[in-house]
Amino acid sequence: MRALGRFLQVMPRALDADLVREQRMSASEYTVLRHLSETPGQLMRMSELATACDMSLSGMTRLAAKLESGGYLRRIRCEEDARGANAVLTEKGMARLREAWPTHLASVRRHIFDHLEGLDLRRLADAFAAMAADT
C-alpha cells in the first residue's frame, strides 16, 4: 500500500500547484471559498470552517484575514455567541471561486479521474465517504 501513502502525500501538492500556477490561489483558499459557497447563507462559524478545512483555528484566522483583505469574505460577529465570529462569502469571493473552479476541476480530472478508467466511481466515492465518516 505504499502507492496509497504516496498518493496521499503527492496529490494535495499537485492540486495546489495547479491552482497557484494558473489562478494565483492556494488550494486552502479555494477550499475555504468552496465550503462557504455550499452553506446556507454562505456563512459559517470560523471554528466550524476551520474544522471543515482541516485547519487550526489560528491558521483559519490568518487565512480568513488574507481572504478578507482581498474582498473575498467578511468576518462578522456571531449573533448566537458574541465571542465567536462568522465568515461570510462575498459576491467577489463567489466570482473568484467560479473563476478558479474550471482550473481545479481540470486538475482533479488530469491527476485523478483520468487514471480511474474502468472503475466503479460510485463505489469508490461511497468507500471514501465511509472512510471519512470513521474519522
pLDDT per residue over 79-112, tens digit each?
877 778 999 999 999 999 999 999 999 999 999 9
Q: In this structure, is residue 135 part of a structural domain? A: no
- 133 pLDDT band (50/70/90 cuts)? confident
Among 80, 82, 66, 84, residue whose Cα is nearest residue 30 = 66
Report yes or no on 52 lying in a domain.
yes
- Nine-digit cell string for 107: 486538475
Q: Could you identify the residue written with the cell 473575498?
A: 72
Q: Which pLDDT does position 130 carry in this prediction?
A: 92
CB distance 108 to 68 below 8 Å: no
pLDDT digits (tens, 9 = 90+) for 26-81: 999 999 999 999 999 999 999 999 999 999 999 999 999 999 999 999 999 988 77
Range of the domain at 45: 27-93
Kindly state whether residue 98 falls inside one of the protein's structural domains.
no
- How far is 9 from 63, CA to CA, in rounded Å? 22
The residue among 53 and 118 whose pLDDT is bigger is 53
Domain membership flag for residue 36:
yes
What is the model's pLDDT at position 9? 93
Q: Flag whether 64 is in a domain.
A: yes
Instruction: Report the number of distinct structural domains present in the chain.
Output: 1
Question: Is residue 129 one of the residues assigned to a domain?
Answer: no
* DSSP per residue, 4-36: HHHHHHHHHHHHHHHHHHHHS--HHHHHHHHHH
End-to-end CA distance of the chain: 20
CATH number, domain of 60, equals 1.10.10.10
Does some domain include residue 86? yes
Does residue 51 lie in a domain region? yes
Q: Rounded distance, CA 101 to CA 32, Å?
A: 13
